[in-house]
Chains A and B, each alone.
With several copies, the nearest count.
Chain A
Amino acid sequence: MPDPNRLAQTTTTRVPRIFANASGAAEHLTKLADSVDEFAHRSGGIARIRGLRGTQHEHDAAIWKQMADLGWLGILIPAHYGGLGLGLSEMAIVAEGLSRMLAPEPYNAVVALATTVILESDNEVIKSEQLPHIASGDILPVLAWQEEAGNLDSAVVASTAVAVDNGYRISGCKKYIAGAAQADAFLVSARDGSDLMLFWIPRECKGVLLQSETLADGRLFGTLTVQDAWIPAPQRIAHGATAVAALATGLDFATVVASAELCGVMDRVLEITLDYMKTRVQFGKPIGSFQALQHRAVDLYMHSQFSNAVLEEAAQTISPNTDATARALLASRVKARCSDAALRIARESIQIHGAMGFTDECDIGLYMKRALVLAAWLGNATHHRRRYAQLTIAAAA
């Protein structure tokens, strides 16, 4: 059997990546992409990911620290909180590059999702205390918000917060928490009647139990059970409209970044597959010379490039100041496109690889599994098309 991993490391085919056509002010993005690539390879590539599978270590703490040193953990954090104060385009580039090498680090969960929620909250003490530590990689908070599979409405919260003794008693169960395995703190949503609140809950807090379950791609989803946990009032990071908006903004940002990760998966798996089509011989010819496969490969390429184009538009357009509806529409549009495209490209890549694509030792399966997880997390394509519909059809009808 040809060594499948050798193929994966050294493809000769290059599929244009996100921002590959960037010019002028955006040219720094292609340089950033190169340095992420170089980092991802240097940090062990896919062999590292295979090594972490089946352990309770979802990611490498050392790698995380190196990413902090490169400034990547503070991309969205303003300079006065110790970050770089950049935008979604830079974040997308880093996320895409790490995802191409299937890095398991909870980059999106911590650096996009949790960080944005904190930034959009109004607890200045937490911000000045924690954001610098996030940027330096010393603390990893993740957002614990979802309570039911398939329900992506962050305002639907059954968890309760009852005001007592300079603080709150919190109870509830949060599921599908990405990055939970090695997280130090959780941002937890809970409700006091009609008032939605967000709390900073350290992992070691009394009344808090974390369980982990294995995902298709070897990473973990956490389930956080909170039972009558007492949280001091200063750890409430937002409530009311501010909390609702912070959650919505954070989730939309993370949805765009997850789409960038999907772009990384699909572009890379397509490169591997195109290389395979050029080298694998059947019936005396490279299989890439069969027209039926060629046309399918062209379709996959189109799906990749459409995904990239929408991602670029979303990343360039969305900022914390974007109108909430416009932001939601773009986020849903890009997640729907990228989820479908990545799954399609991964599935077809297995088919094109034939029996080898079904083996664990071939990297294609790993890419497909990452695509499965990213497509489902934060809402799959159908969910996002329906959200788009809800936001637009009133206008059309």
Chain B
Amino acid sequence: MSIRPDYNALDDEDFRRQVRTFFEAEYPPELRYILRRTRWPEMKTWWDRLHAQGWVAPNWPVEWGGMGLAAGKMLIYLDEMERHGVARTPDQGITHIGPIIIRYGTEQQKRHYLPRTLSGEYIWCQGYSEPNAGSDLASLQSTAVLDGDHLVINGQKIWTSVADCATHTYVVVRTDKTAAKKQLGISLIIVDLKTLGITIRPIRNIAGHASFCQVFFDNVRVPRENLVGKINDGWTVAKALLSFEHLVIGSPRRPQYALRRIELIARARGMFSDQGFVDRYIALKLELEDLNSLFVRFVEQVKRGETLAPDVSMLKIWNMDTWQRLTDLLVEIGAEEGVLDGIREFSGAEADILQCFYYARPGTIYGGSNEIQRNIMSRYVLKLPLSS
């Protein structure tokens, strides 16, 4: 492997230009602005190009084949992805279990999993949620029991993205039922999806895509060395990296796509001379502009290396609420065209309004619903008394 450039040493704007140029030149145009979760076969070409460039893992350290980007550069990279409409690959291995293995894994785990994840040989899906432990993750009921050198897993996971094209999963399961608190006695385990006893059932979403699966574990035996971190310490491991994720999820780029669709249609229909429409459009546009002001404030904190306070949840709440309101307006101005399936044409402009609308729905649900986020803010930011 050749010597990697030190991206962090670059000027921000230089780096941004370099990223943008690469995306514009190399990203397959037919895959721009896909709202659904992508699947492996369609993304493989792009993954290989990223891999050739050494850019699959912007967040990983250089020693493990990543770009080793600092927070500020990382945000530029993500920003340019969203700006150009670069879809996320099935990248849980890169964004999530990779960094966890780098932080908590054994040397052997690192050497085995990291290169194969980077090359695309191993594709990962996350097994956290359960039918009765969605917002309330600490209530999970899947179990793993030690049996000699193996762990025997039983239970089920749900809302597992891309499980049907993944090769591996990492699950949180209960390994100690006697623990004093619900958050204790949980472990994080890597599971090869070819292991006996695993059944995968794809679940279709309201947009018509099988974007997630239900995964059943029936006496699934995995080697004990598949444990990541210490046994019964999985809660800490699984919850690592969360505050940066809240920042990323709070980026106003995502709803901006919906805003652009509104602008396209409004222009095509001459709605910018309708003051009633303009009032609503501008109010929503300003929600995003102002979100960006707050986003930048948090970004500056991250760049300074400060830990983000729990009020970073504000970004996600505001972002997702605004995104939904934007797609509500989009459907409305689409009128009859807004309730027809597929890409519709508006005097030259095109939009798949329903897909925009559908994919904005779970924004207030996943990653901790907006209600949960408000509970957290109430307790840890406003310090209001617990609602008993």
Contact = CB atoms under 8 A, between A and B. Distances in A.
Q: Within 8 Å by CB, do A and B touch in the complex?
A: yes
Interface stretch (B72-80, B166-174, B292-300): B292-300
B181 interface: no
A351 B365 contact: yes
Interface in A104-162: 146, 149-150
Interface stretch (A28-36, A231-239, A383-391): A383-391
Contacts of A294: 374-375, 378, 382, 384, 387
B384 A215 contact: no
Contact of A336 (B135, B263, B286, B385): B286
Question: In the complex, which of the residues B214, B314, B357 has the most CB atoms of chain A within 10 Å of its own CB atom?
Answer: B314
B332 A380 contact: yes
A290 B290 contact: no
Given A305-B314, A380-B335, A396-B267, A355 B158 contact: yes
A376 B339 contact: yes
Interface residues of B, number: 79
A278 B338 CA distance: 34
A31 to B, nearest CB: 19
A112 B385 CA distance: 42
Interface stretch (A91-99, A164-172, A296-304, A319-327): A296-304
Interface in A347-397: 347, 350-351, 354-355, 357-361, 365, 368-369, 372-373, 376-377, 380-383, 385-386, 388-389, 392-393, 396-397
Nearest to B214: A1
Given A298-B382, A359-B205, A368-B206, A310 B290 contact: yes
Interface in B323-353: 324, 328, 331-342
Given A175-B336, A290-B387, A354-B369, A1 B131 contact: yes
B337 A289 contact: no
B204 A360 contact: yes
B331 A213 contact: no
Interface in A303-318: 305-306, 309-310, 312-313
Contacts of B281: 389
Contact of B340 (A1, A213, A358, A392): A213
B22 interface: no
Nearest to A371: B339
B134 A282 contact: yes
B244 interface: no
Could you tell me the dominant secondary structure of chain A's interface residues? helix
Contact of B293 (A2, A306, A373, A392): A306
Nearest to B377: A298
B249 interface: no
A347 B324 contact: yes
A268 interface: no
Contacts of B136: 282-283
B118 interface: no
B388 interface: yes
Contacts, number: 217
A126 to B, nearest CB: 28
A103 interface: no
B192 interface: no
Question: In the complex, which of the residues B339, B370, B383 has the most CB atoms of chain A within 10 Å of its own CB atom?
Answer: B339
Nearest to B129: A355
A389 B278 contact: yes
A13 interface: yes
A298 B378 contact: yes
Interface in B351-388: 354, 357, 361-362, 364-366, 369-371, 374-375, 377-378, 381-388
A289 B205 contact: no
Interface in B283-319: 283, 285-286, 289-291, 293-294, 296-297, 300-301, 304, 311, 314, 317-318
B269 A150 contact: yes
A199 interface: no
Contact of B272 (A309, A312, A313, A397): A397
A89 B278 CA distance: 32
A67 interface: no
Contacts of B365: 351, 354-355, 357-358
A289 B384 CA distance: 7
Nearest to B211: A358
B198 interface: no
B71 to A, nearest CB: 15
A74 interface: no
A338 to B, nearest CB: 10
Nearest to B370: A351
Interface string B99-134: 000000000000000000000000000000101101
Contacts of B342: 213-214
Nearest to A286: B385
A298 B310 CA distance: 12
Nearest to B311: A305
B386 A333 contact: no
A372 B339 CA distance: 6
A79 interface: no
25 contacts: A1-B158, A1-B203, A13-B382, A215-B340, A274-B382, A274-B384, A291-B378, A294-B374, A294-B375, A295-B378, A298-B374, A306-B314, A347-B328, A355-B129, A355-B366, A359-B205, A359-B206, A360-B204, A360-B206, A372-B331, A372-B338, A373-B339, A376-B338, A381-B332, A397-B272
Interface of A: 1-2, 13, 21, 23, 146, 149-150, 175-176, 213-217, 221, 274, 277-278, 281-286, 288-295, 297-299, 301-302, 305-306, 309-310, 312-313, 333, 336-337, 343, 347, 350-351, 354-355, 357-361, 365, 368-369, 372-373, 376-377, 380-383, 385-386, 388-389, 392-393, 396-397
